[in-house]
Structure 1
């Protein structure tokens, strides 16, 4: 194992975590030196093992779900926790897509000879060890593992206690695959010790972990941002908006609103607030409300919205800043693009926002003015993600601006190094 300088290790970190980090660092070095074929083989073996372990994974998940139900877990979180044959199909499909991606390691970003004769290159390299903290969603385990292996990294996973049996079963399958591959099984490790204290200790492991990706609710993100000594790739709330412009087509406006809200209301790119232009509100609100009500969506509206559709509940100031992750939607009437953008800037989370319009100039103004990781024109907010963008599985959707933004795929878990070749060159 690779030794770590004692003076660089936080004394509050217990020996078990030091060993975990040391193994991860050694695996990261091995993965960085592996060939693209080695990484391809590893992901294929992981996929084969995952397919072979469907039954024990589903059985383990049933244990987690039963425990969560007994504790009264909220319906949206319970839905995220639950694995089905269909969700296993999706996990396998994303892992297959990752295996088919071009290798992001060793790409030449710059290759030039300077006037002095010094030959300079810039080449992509893995970040090293990725830390992942997430809640409720065991499917994230395979996505994170696949993306990190594809990018030549190692990963330490800290899933929520509510998914512990599922994550252990998935990890056992992935380890089985890695054991039959050229890469070390320690490339993927699970931090499954219970308790909040171990999370705080994990956040102090900057000696071992190069980047941290938190995925969860506001409390988790705030905890990580407050206490982490590790650089963070931020996956925050998905308070997503759709602005229906004055000239929007009725059929498109209805279809996009329903799909954005109802296709999977519990995920981070589901619609949470509908903004509709005052010029189209009387024309479009009734059919939109009718379609959403048919899907049993609870609707909350501003005073103008309720003057047109009186059956709606009144929206409060808190509603505009809420990520429901459920069949609930807030609706606000706005006067033009400027007011729509101002609302998004005030209450949005810079995740995903969209516009429905037939005017290209208006669409371009929206795209330029809305400061979000994904901005969609005449498309469902549910399309902001790895599969729709051709990235396959992703480790998260970054709402920050540094290093990675939007869906975080394998290529976003690399950095670069400068390499210079000389012939005895000296600095004048």
Structure 2
């Protein structure tokens, strides 16, 4: 008997997903030597906050940065001076009521800034961006089983009303791409009433209370009830039988995962993403944080830092999102990082539009390799890019990596206190 390739791929995907969720293991044991690096985190302090004019929500669609300076090009760039780095890490905050502020930050002198760098955006010229971001055979796994979809780590992936993905990094904070809310000049139209959708099982239908009291049977002659207990047992048996039939026929529909939408309370974007006059935007700061009006009780994914992803055996990263060609379904993928710079990771993880903003994570051991395994977000998937590599323009799928300074900034947005922004 010949198994159709599509069915074989679905069965393989289901087996992989089951192994990931139930055992908490990686695809292979190659990552057993991965450790959480002890990295010094700089301290970010708010220096001043000023109120700006109400933002314009006029951008029609989000767009990814154009052709970027490649790795060799980045190596020739000087490290930004502390004053320039503070400008890049200053940030705008947009509130639900439409007001906006600019906060300038200060980096403490003893912070570790060696991982700070910057990219240059090149002229796109005649190149056209591919509509697809899939390389060769599609290696994505579409998660269709409701139990996997609503369980960690897939449950930490969220959908933005602007069409992007994101990941929960606290009960009420979502990390995503900056281009999903801001095009480098103005905010997207959908950002004004931005919402975040979390996949949850549809709640069971509530049935009305049964009327209390004993039901009387028929009366005869002397007024005694005849057959009362038997009638009640018969009615109870029929009721349970009907409920079983109804559950069997309706359970798949009534308990399928659906999006539970929550309004965004505020949005924070680094000014490193904002386009300056005469210059293009850079993918290095393509990240943003959203604070929700209501916290979620589900498990979120912690932030982490990996100085060199390629040092991890197989250099493997993972992320899940909501690709447009798989409407309403969580799509998971993993791949190896091919090239990396101080701020970006270049890879061929298959993806489609809609997956931008997904949290890129790896599995690490804490406490010197003797602690528990943890999945930690080390980057944000930005999307498809054309990259200038030694004068040759190549295309990659690119993710923004979380450096020590970016970790400090995002953690500062979440907690507001430097004492809570230390790697576990």
User: Could you say which structure has the higher helix fraction?
Assistant: 1
Shared fold per TM-score greater than 0.5: no
Larger Rg: 2
Q: What TM-score, normalized to structure 2? A: 0.24
User: Could you say which structure has the higher strand fraction?
Assistant: 2
